[in-house]
Chain A
Amino acid sequence: MGHYLLRRLPSALVVLAIASFGIFALVRMVPGDPVSSLAGPDATPEARAAIRADLGLDQPLVTQYVHWLGRLAHGDFGTSYRIGGQVKDLVADGAVNTIVLTVTALLLAAIVALVASVLAVVLDNRWVNAALSFGNTLAIALPTFVTGLVLILLFAVVFPVLPAGGTPPDGFLARPDIAAQYLLLPAVCLALGAGAALTRFLTEALRTELRQPYVTTARALGIPRRRIVLTQALRNALPSAVTVLGIQFGTLLGGAVLVEAIFTWPGLGGLIEEAISGRDYPLVQVLLLLSVVVFVAIQLLTDVIHAWLDPRVRIGGAS
């Protein structure tokens, strides 16, 4: 496992390095600057100059970049121009919500996919299959922003059984039962697409596995098909499924931006939109860099898990 990480790490770092610079540069190329969005329509020139100096934007770009990196290295993410608070705290607050949402969605998706695909394969009944494939095609075909609104309309407005949005008033841990209800709609909305895609993949993977010779061997030994699916095919399909899961997590994070907007879920999505439109350089930079880090991390993670699940990678061949 170790050497696995080691081999991947350098390229990951390269990506991060490029990213940090690219982001820094791009953010500053964007038209419109933080000063004017801070100063507002009626600011006087001297006022804006004062603000500019206050933000250290009057220094040359290179110095700014170096300073930024330096501070990052010391775990100082800087303070947000607009919001004023520590970027660290802001991101942390948003991250908690986003992570809770996406991870829940991911779990939902994974579980649904697992059950659905195993059901489909074990009782390979054409009606069940038809129903499933129709279901998940539809799930993929419905845009998030549509499903989200339909869910709100149904469960919050027409039959007000669930909150229309927002996060649980007193955190996720204080009242799990309440939190669950706040989480349900957005998580389902987010999980739908991923779940469908995952189901599709896993079903296909299982079918492919069942065509493998070792399955024939097992069947020739009189092991029931269902048992083969559960104890062998699934185990073999898992590594590749994990990889797909990793990819899905990325897409989920992307979808979160939209879902958060629909369900007014105060996560990173809203934060980044606000940061960019406010030209809140420190915040934007950190957030963008974060998404790169997450992406790279997930790639690493999936690789490692993949390797760990597959003995052929874990234990080098003897002969």
Chain B
Amino acid sequence: MTDPEGTTVTTPLLEVTDLAISFSHPRPAVRSVSVTVDEGEVVALVGESGSGKSMTARAVIGLLPDGAKATGSVRLRGEELLGLPEPELIRYRGRRVAMVFQEPQTALNPVRTIGWQIGEALRAHGGVRGKAARARAVDLLREVEIPDPEERLGYYPHQLSGGQKQRVVLALALANEPELLLADEPTTALDVTVQAEILALLRRIRDRTGTSILIITHNMGVVAHLADRVVVLRQGEVVEEAATRDLFADPRHAYTRQLLAAVPRLPGPDERVHAVTDDDVPAVAADAVAALEYDDVRVHYGSRMRGRVLPAVDGVTLRLERGQVLGLVGESGSGKTTLGRLAAGLVPLAGGSVRVGGEDLVRARGQRRVDLRRRLAFVHQDPEASLDPRFSIAEAIREPLDVHAVGSRKDRDVRVTELLDAVRLPASFARRRPRELSGGQRQRVALARALTLDPELLIADEPTSALDVSVQAEVLELFADLQQRLGFACVFISHDLAVVNKVADQVAVLRAGRVVESGSAARVFGAPTHDYTRQLLAAVPVPDPTVRDATGPALREQHIAS
């Protein structure tokens, strides 16, 4: 455990001063950022989109996009990097400063083997070749804790899981033993458990090799978990800088406080105690018609023609009462999304039945089907794509009404305005196009659109996962509010347990197409009975540095387990 105060005496490893980056379009991406990273230190750059955190990192390694103009200074051990010509920079990149990116799926060359790519990284700096290179590659893979590395060398990226890919990316970065490692949202694209493993790995690498790490993230949990020191950015400027514990303990700047406030939290250990006690059977009359019923539902993916049929959902039985919110949680591939799409009638059913308000959705035909559909709505994960780019906001919201020819043109427009109001968007937005809106605003529009026909059932598939924390908080709050007011039932799908915890009454934990545990949110999160649920909960990085060391060892166990 290096102590920040201890290292400030020597000249810092990285020293960024008054960095400003501007593009053709008016608002500069980075106004003025100064950051220092000391030997063996882990510094977190925190901020929401538009804060310029990634730009800063890219400026350090000299990979700014074309047309970006950077001023100020970036010093590595006192050597100025900013404005060095390409050939010079190449000598630093990978050799002394390395970078890990957000999206492991695309960060590796899909048509080259892992071994080749590591070899290439070594070659780049006239490193070892042939047998020696191979040996080194194996060591690297071992270092990032990839099982039987010799064999993996011959693998192509697509043969590895997301986590393994990210480990390979790390291995590449570490290939030439850099002094500074830039990690840009290294775990954002990963499942919680994998994320936990990678975070743990990063820490161990730091401990083992003493490599300094500058980590860029928007996730306070990650920060609390990994960073020694935090630098908070907003709109290209540093708003606050402090040691992690101090920052969490008493955030000085309003924005920082807001950020922390916005982070959804799971019941802490103390809360859990009494959480167990409360009863997990919702009080409802047995004969009441459920809003949604899954009865031994099965869904297959892959076509019979290709010969490979794999179950996406495998015998799920769930019941959602009217006016309740059912949270579906699970990691990628757990089948939660499929369940949601099933309820919306978007995927063919292989077995069992899905009943919406007591009626079988799949078998319904013709007008009955249309009527059924009118009663449910769907909110898609990606606000980018969920609105037709050619439609104005008004048209988008109005479409369901147009489809079912509800009321006169006038009534519809009235409805649009009231919906916009309901999702707290100014009526003036009606004429705008989706691309003129921010992600959060788009998601609100999507919500409004879903509510147009006062559905009895709303299916929300990861509605906030693409949003910034603060925006996410806004939307969730809005959602909860609307759900209270309009009293529709809702299937809320998310990989983020904290988010689900915030909105859901009932929770079903899914794994590999099966429900491993379900019950009231408080109960499931408070007193999980199933190991997997516990694992998930344990893996969530708690936005509180004090619990870091507590969870640390727990993670290691898991890692060995997996």
Contacts and interface: CB of A to CB of B under 8 A. Distances in A.
Interface of A: 7, 212-214, 216-225, 227, 231-232, 235-236, 309-312, 315, 317-319
Given A217-B99, A232-B109, A315-B158, 10 more contacts: A217-B109, A220-B98, A220-B99, A222-B92, A222-B94, A223-B90, A223-B124, A310-B111, A317-B159, A318-B159
B121 A223 contact: yes
B532 interface: no
B61 interface: yes
A213 B107 contact: yes
A318 B172 CA distance: 21
Interface string B105-146: 011111110000000110111000000000000000000000
Given A222-B92, A222-B94, A212 B106 contact: yes
B175 interface: yes
B153 to A, nearest CB: 14
B107 A223 contact: no
Contacts of A231: 120
B90 A217 contact: no
Interface in B513-533: none
B159 A217 contact: no
B109 A318 contact: no
Nearest to A313: B158
B169 A222 contact: no
Contacts of B98: 220-221
B111 A236 contact: yes
Nearest to B307: A3
* The 5 A-B residue pairs with the shortest CB-CB distance in the complex, in nearest-first order: A222-B93, A221-B94, A222-B94, A319-B161, A318-B159
Contacts, number: 96
15 contacts: A7-B305, A216-B63, A220-B61, A220-B93, A221-B121, A221-B124, A221-B172, A224-B90, A232-B112, A236-B110, A236-B111, A311-B110, A318-B160, A319-B159, A319-B161
B109 A218 contact: yes
Interface in B401-416: none
A315 B94 contact: no
B120 A218 contact: yes
Interface in B55-89: 61, 63, 86
A312 B124 contact: no
Nearest to A318: B159
A214 B121 contact: no
B95 interface: yes
Contacts of B63: 216, 219-220
A222 B161 contact: no
Contacts of A7: 305
A235 B161 CA distance: 23
A312 B156 contact: yes
B84 to A, nearest CB: 12
A232 B113 CA distance: 11
A221 B175 contact: yes
Contact of A309 (B111, B160, B305): B111
Nearest to B96: A222
Nearest to B121: A221
A32 B550 CA distance: 93
B103 interface: yes
B449 to A, nearest CB: 32
Contact of A222 (B107, B111, B124): B124
A212 B175 CA distance: 21
A311 B158 contact: yes
